[in-house]
Structure 1
Amino acid sequence: MAASRLCQRTFSAFKPSNRLWAPVSSRCAPNQVTRQLALTSRFSLITQNFDAFSSRPVARANLLLGGILEESKRPDIIFLQEVTSDVRTSILGNPKVREAFLVTDAEDQTSFEGVPFANMTLLSSKRFAFDLEMQKEDGVERGEKFMLGPVSRVKLPSKYGRCALSVDIIPPSTPTTTCRLVNVHLDSLGDTLFYRTEQMEILANLLREPGCGGGLIAGDFNAISPEDHALLDKNGLVDAWVALHGNQGFDGATWGVGVERHDGLGPGRLDKVAMSGVDAKDMEILRPGLSEVPKPGEDSDYIPCSDHYGLRLSFTV
């Protein structure tokens, strides 16, 4: 089957719907809403793998999310991977999330059933709205926010049942053209390169569908080999880190940093942002802090909040 047909079939199997998007709490009263800045096309994104299998996943996720939600550095877009069902519940109960973000999978946990973890996407309610009428009701001038289009879980060929979480954002000035944001966690380990190759072809085609003006794919690419790092260029995508820092610049490792491993795998740039039709402005690696693991009758141990470093990207549409 041709890759383009596979992409179309897989994508349409998950009917695009706004059902997955929900504000976690009811909208604020108009007198609680301050007028937003005029619409700009510059956005900030943080992508972070929560590391589902280390101890105390909820405590670690809370610490990671707390850092992401710091007021002075709070991003417009948050991509999260390896979110367990318990961590999802914790995210939905977070007061800062409830106040300031629209969240996928807030209505039910269907996407978390039968899998060890799933992805979640959070979008700032300061920058995004369901439609122009919602902006008017919130006391915000019409046309100041990007509107939300369809959101879908795109089933991928996968050994581990992985999906991509895709959402369209629509500039109110050009409502016939969308920008697509795709949150991914590709297949893990060396024996699944075949799957990652297929996955990247499908994902790249998502950014080229009719009416889509491009966008970005971000998250855990599990890029552990030179063949993995060649997949973006092969599919006509721009590697944001390479675009900003060059192949000879900072190595950009996001996994295995400062850890001695027995499997021979050293530090790697497993987490990435791939772009088409958008421009990267600046990008940095976010080192996770430490989480306390109490030990009865002994001093506590401290472990990294995640085995993945996060990425922060500023980009323009």
Structure 2
Amino acid sequence: MVINRLRHTTLSAFNHSTRSWAPIPLQNAQSQVTQSWTQRLSLISWNIDAFSSRPISRAKLILHHILEGPKSPDIIFLQEVTSDVRVSLLNDARVRAAFLATDTEDQTLFEDVPFTTMTLLSSARFASGLNLQKEGDGVEGGEKFMLGRVSRVTLPSKYGRDALYVDIIPPAAPDTLFRFINVHLDSLGDSLHYRAQQMKILANVLRESGCSGGIIAGDFNAINPVDDGLVDKNELVDAWVTLHGKTDPNGATWGVGVERRGRLGPGKRLDKVVMIGLKAKEMEVIRPGLIEVPRPAEKPNEIFWSDHCGLRCTFII
């Protein structure tokens, strides 16, 4: 029997007075009569590639593309974030001004693994306590989503992977809880049995007592055709398939001009957004740009920001 260890973690906001990231208090759901409500949120998920050259410069370009585009997201899921890259992202003035971030001070995340996941939540849409809600604060009805528990679930894994999740409480329904889960499932073809276990565990996390549903998004490493069946097997809704169908050739997210690591060819839809209890409205693949990599006595080589594309998904709660 697999025992999954739950590790509580923190969300932090940047304190401009102390010039440091500080943990924020989180809200417990309180039973109360609900009213009719609908909220639209947007998510971008991106495996930013820990292994290629110039990781910090590439991460900065990806972040700039995410934040300076016409549709800045409410939620950002990043995978393959190294310790140095995390420091760079947390030092970005736009992140400090507008986002809450997970695990800002926890260096133990990198003790046994080369990279981890990171979640950013817009402070315009999410608040750390009821006292922070202000009328007309950028959300319909003048209220923000409350933040509940923030945790990492240790998964059965060859590579030490876990699932980072944040519980959110809608402003008009304080007795309702949804869960946003950032994942990087096990890599390569010989880890299919781990991915099958991981998907089952994550689906069950969304069905825990008191949880009304939510999203699992990130790098699913869906290498094998059997991987695609895991979504249906666990009765999850694949947002891309719902909106674009199974055969849309524009859904591939991996192998942007490269072929490496296990001879996995390009054109794979490794990254996904799946959900329960929510409704996907729009979804697109975000293509990475190019960055130069200097080479001694040679013409600089150009590589993509990441070997993965990003995913943008807008959904309704």
Measured against the shorter chain, the TM-score band is 0.7 to 0.9
* Identical positions, percent: 61
- 1:242: which partner in 2? 241
The reply to whether residue 25 of structure 1 matches residue 15 of structure 2 is yes
Secondary structure in 2 aligned to 1:315? strand
- 1:130: which partner in 2? 128
CA RMSD of aligned residues (A): 2.2
Between the aligned partners of 2:138 and 2:53, the Cα distance in structure 1 is 43
Between the aligned partners of 1:258 and 1:57, the Cα distance in structure 2 is 18
- 1:190: which partner in 2? 189
Between the aligned partners of 1:264 and 1:212, the Cα distance in structure 2 is 37
- 1:147: which partner in 2? 146
- 1:306: which partner in 2? 306
Contact 2:213 2:277 in 1 (8 A): yes
- 1:283: which partner in 2? 283
Task: Give the CA deviation at 1:291.
Answer: 1.2
- 1:109: which partner in 2? 107
Between the aligned partners of 2:263 and 2:70, the Cα distance in structure 1 is 39
Between the aligned partners of 2:264 and 2:274, the Cα distance in structure 1 is 27
TM-score of the aligned structures, taking structure 1 as reference length:
0.88
- 1:231: which partner in 2? 230
Q: Relative to 1, partners in 2 of residues 1:25 and 1:291: Cα closer, same or farther, differing over 3 Å? A: farther
Runs of 4+ in structure 1 off by over 3 angstroms are 136-143, 257-262
Contact 1:20 1:107 in 2 (8 A): no
Between the aligned partners of 1:182 and 1:279, the Cα distance in structure 2 is 16
Between the aligned partners of 2:204 and 2:56, the Cα distance in structure 1 is 35
Task: Give the CA deviation at 1:140.
Answer: 8.3
- 2:6: which partner in 1? 14
Contact 1:25 1:99 in 2 (8 A): no
Secondary structure in 1 aligned to 2:49? coil
Between the aligned partners of 1:239 and 1:92, the Cα distance in structure 2 is 31
Between the aligned partners of 2:202 and 2:305, the Cα distance in structure 1 is 29
Task: Give the CA deviation at 1:95.
Answer: 0.5
- 1:81: which partner in 2? 79
- 1:272: which partner in 2? 272
Task: Give the CA deviation at 1:20.
Answer: 1.3
- 1:173: which partner in 2? 172
Contact 2:125 2:138 in 1 (8 A): no
Q: Relative to 1, partners in 2 of residues 1:138 and 1:201: Cα closer, same or farther, differing over 3 Å? A: same
Alpha-carbon displacement from aligned partner over 1:14-59 (angstroms, at most 9, x marks no partner): 254xx510002348xxxxxxxxxxx961000000001001111111
Secondary structure in 1 aligned to 2:95? helix
Q: Which amino acid aligns with 1:20?
A: T
- 1:31: which partner in 2? none
Equivalent residues in 2 for 1:35-50, closer than 5 Å: 41-50=39-48
Task: Give the CA deviation at 1:267.
Answer: 1.7
Contact 1:81 1:220 in 2 (8 A): yes
Q: Which amino acid aligns with 2:293?
A: V
Q: Relative to 1, partners in 2 of residues 1:149 and 1:194: Cα closer, same or farther, differing over 3 Å? A: same
Secondary structure in 1 aligned to 2:42? strand
Contact 1:143 1:172 in 2 (8 A): no
Q: Relative to 1, partners in 2 of residues 1:170 and 1:139: Cα closer, same or farther, differing over 3 Å? A: closer
Between the aligned partners of 1:94 and 1:300, the Cα distance in structure 2 is 27
Q: Greater CA deviation, 66-75 or 273-282? A: 66-75
TM-score of the aligned structures, taking structure 2 as reference length:
0.88
Secondary structure in 2 aligned to 1:210? coil
Contact 2:134 2:142 in 1 (8 A): no
Alpha-carbon displacement from aligned partner over 1:246-294 (angstroms, at most 9, x marks no partner): 1133451100144356826342000000110000001000001111112
Tell me how many residue pairs correspond in the alignment: 296
Between the aligned partners of 1:162 and 1:139, the Cα distance in structure 2 is 36
- 1:90: which partner in 2? 88
Q: Relative to 1, partners in 2 of residues 1:153 and 1:106: Cα closer, same or farther, differing over 3 Å? A: same
Alpha-carbon displacement from aligned partner over 1:91-112 (angstroms, at most 9, x marks no partner): 1100110010000011332222
Q: Which amino acid aligns with 2:252?
A: A
Alpha-carbon displacement from aligned partner over 1:141-189 (angstroms, at most 9, x marks no partner): 9961001110001100000000000100101221121110000000000
Contact 2:134 2:143 in 1 (8 A): no
Between the aligned partners of 1:178 and 1:143, the Cα distance in structure 2 is 19
Between the aligned partners of 2:69 and 2:123, the Cα distance in structure 1 is 14
- 1:207: which partner in 2? 206
Q: Greater CA deviation, 298-307 or 58-67? A: 298-307
Between the aligned partners of 1:71 and 1:226, the Cα distance in structure 2 is 34
